Structure 1
Amino acid sequence: MEQPRDGQLLAHQAQLALWEALRDGRLRDGQFLSMAQLVGLLDFPIAAIREAVKQASAQGLLSALPKRGIQVMEAHPEAIRECLDFRMALDQEGARRRIRIGNLEGLDALRERHEGMRNTAETDAAKDLPTQAIKVDLSLHDYLAEGLRNSHLTAAYAANRMRMAIIQNSRPFLQDRIFSAMEEHLAIIDAIENRDVETAIDAIQYHCDQTLRWWGIT
């Protein structure tokens, strides 16, 4: 009776390992690999890896191609546009709901993190700056997603967050874009703090448009 539970645990652990490999860039956008290579990379039994691949395929992170192997999602312009547009819609609704119910807890800490990263990006080109900046960048989007207060919407956000990680790993987060992104996020934070729904919605739209422009998508 223990085997099914053990198998479910291994599948869950394999999925977490796969997610981490996608987040940290060990698996890159558009990359092809065999099931055997994925087993070797993640160090889990093939049955657990197959289940993890099935879950990832359902979320559009991987594609299982007959006789060709597995391909990581490609960060092509249409995929970037759709992922950013999806995130923007959830960000806007999250901001709207947080303002409506007055749930602004944690906003001061977000502001402090963003101001710190903006000031650092203005003067520092440290090697690990992009990694730090992505964490700060995601902290606002996560905050807005938490404001949705809906398990289905937050699950959809989490899946899209993984797709965004693949996209972000395909191009370095350059110092000048870090600075401007932090400024755009601070404008969103200002609007939420002032409980100004219309300005928050517009600021989130502007941030999405500027991000698309940075990716060369108009």
Structure 2
Amino acid sequence: MKPSRELQSDQAFEALLAALRSGKLRSSEFLAMPALAETIEFPLAATREAIKRAEEQSLLSVLPKRGVIIMETGPETTRACMDMRAALEKEGARRLLGSGRPDMSELRATHEALLAEARREPAADLSRRAIATDLSLHDFMASGLDNPFLQQAYAANRNRIAIIQNARSFLADRVVPAMQEHLEIIAALESGDSDAAVDRIEHHLKLTLRWWGVGTAV
């Protein structure tokens, strides 16, 4: 039984997202429509539907009668996406703490374990696992938004940041300070201090942008 057109377009969109997250499709890359369909291994009709959805999230731009170009990741775009994430996370943190102190034990344990490994003798796949650990805290704070439209905005921006991260690698030298910054956020959330959590989120944003060389002058 052939999948319905709607189901196939959903699957094509997920395949497109997977290709963007993995780096198979990279920032500013141009592809003709047939080449993109071949890359994600879906028919042209489903690929076109997936492209429409991706364009709505600013993950790519359609060049009429030519093809598509993947989102660029220049300084302005990077700052805008990271600022948006921080803004949503700050509100998410406030709402989480408005309901009491969250259990941060699992997140703390995974961050501390990764930090200890990075300081000791990091494995070859440390950067890949660091991204997953990094996202776990960001996703947790966004879960506090408890609003489907805000969470949709976060999810779309998360996809854009995946493209940025593929263009700006999570180098091993960044893992230690990033995990330390995350642990400061975790400590603030554990204490129930929303002002401290907001401050640490802003601090993490500032240092991440500086590390990537796209921070603004103070």
Provide, for residues 156-204 of structure 1, a one-character-per-residue CA deviation record: whole Å limited to 9, x for no partner.
0000000000000012211121110000000000000000111100000
Q: Which amino acid aligns with 1:102?
A: G
CA spacing shift, 1:87–1:163, aligned 2, 3 Å: same
1:59 aligns with 2:57: yes
Fraction of identical pairs, as percent: 50
Please list, as runs of the form range in 1=range in 2, the aligned pairs for 1:174-193 lying within 5 A after superposition.
174-193=171-190
Superposition misfits of 4+ residues, deviation over 6 angstroms: none
Which residue among 19, 22, 28 is the counterpart of 2:20? 22
Provide, for residues 36-77 of structure 1, a one-character-per-residue CA deviation record: whole Å limited to 9, x for no partner.
111111111111000000000010001001233110001100
Which shifted more, 82-91 or 170-179? Answer: 170-179
Residue 131 of structure 1 aligns with which residue? 128
What count of residue pairs does the alignment treat as equivalent?
A: 215
Which residue among 93, 96, 115 is the counterpart of 2:94? 96
CA distance in 1, matches of 2:200, 2:49: 40
SS of 1:47's equivalent in the other structure is helix
The alpha-carbon deviation at position 103 of structure 1 amounts to 5.4
The alpha-carbon deviation at position 83 of structure 1 amounts to 0.4
Q: Could you state the TM-score of these two structures normalised by the residue count of structure 2? A: 0.95
Please list, as runs of the form range in 1=range in 2, the aligned pairs for 1:8-157 lying within 5 A after superposition.
8-102=6-100, 104-105=102-103, 107-157=104-154
Residue 208 of structure 2 aligns with which residue? 211
Q: Which amino acid aligns with 2:133?
A: V
SS of 1:71's equivalent in the other structure is strand
CA-based RMSD: 1.3
The alpha-carbon deviation at position 124 of structure 1 amounts to 2.7
Q: Could you state the TM-score of these two structures normalised by the residue count of structure 1? A: 0.95
Return 5+ residue gaps in structure 1 as ranges: none
The alpha-carbon deviation at position 110 of structure 1 amounts to 0.3
